[in-house]
Amino acid sequence: MKIKIIFCSLIAVCCSCVSRTDGIRGESHRPAVPVLALKTGSPVLQLRLTRQDSTNYLLEKVEISFEGTTDINDVDSVGLFPADESGMPAFRIPLAPMQKADEKVVLHPNYRIDVDTLICWVAVRLKDSIDLTHRIKASCTGIRTDAGKVDITPPANEAAQRVGVALRQHMQDGVHTSRIPGLTTSKKGTLLAIYDARRQSGRDLQGDIDIALNRSADGGRTWSPMQVVLDMGPWGGLPEKYNGVSDACILADDNTGDLYVFGLWMHGVLDSRTGKWVEGLTDTSTVWNHQWRSRGSGPGYGVRQTPQLLVTKSTDDGLTWSTPENITRQVKEAGWWLLAPAPGRGITLADGTLVFPSEGRGETGASFSTITYSKDGGKTWTTANPAYANTNECMAAQLSDGSIMLNMRERGNRGRLEGNGRAIAVTRDLGKTWTEHPTSRSALVEPACMASLYRHDYTENGDKKSVLLFLNPNSKTRRNDITLKVSFDDGNTWPETYWLLLDEYDGAGYSCITSVDEKTVGVLYEGSQADMVYQQIPLNDILHPDAR
> So which residues are the catalytic ones?
393
142/156 Cα distance (integer angstroms): 17
SS3 labels along 239-299: CHHHEEEEEEEEEECCCCCCEEEEEEEEECCECCCCCCECCCCCCCCCCCCCCCCCCCCCC
Complete DSSP assignment for 302-352:
STTTS-EEEEEEESSTTSS-PPPEE-HHHH--TT-SEEEEPSEE-EE-TTS
Q: Are 69 and 160 in contact (CB under 8 A)?
A: yes
120/421 Cα distance (integer angstroms): 37
| DSSP state, residue 9 | T
Nearest to 244 by CA among 229, 258, 228, 233: 233
27/14 Cα distance (integer angstroms): 8
List Cα–Cα distances, 464 to 459, 470, 504, in angstroms.
5, 20, 34
What's the sign of the alpha-carbon dihedral 76, 79, 82, 87?
A: positive
464/455 Cα distance (integer angstroms): 13
Strands 161-168 and 35-37: parallel
Q: Are 299 and 350 in contact (CB under 8 A)?
A: no
486/545 Cα distance (integer angstroms): 11
Cβ neighbours of 53 (radius 10 Å): 7
Q: How far is CA 155 from the centre of its chain?
A: 26
Buried b (16+ CB within 10 A) or exposed e, 194-229: bbbbbbeeeebbbbbbbbbbbbbeebbbebeebeeb
Helix, strand and coil percent figures for the chain, each rounded to 5: 5, 45, 50
Q: Which residues contact 121 (CB under 8 A, 6 or more apart)?
A: 43, 44, 45, 46, 47, 80, 81, 82, 83, 88, 89
Q: Could you tell me which residues are beta bridge partners of residue 6?
A: none
Q: DSSP 3-state assignment of 174? A: helix
| DSSP state, residue 217 | S
Buried b (16+ CB within 10 A) or exposed e, 350-365: eeebbbbbbbbbbeeb
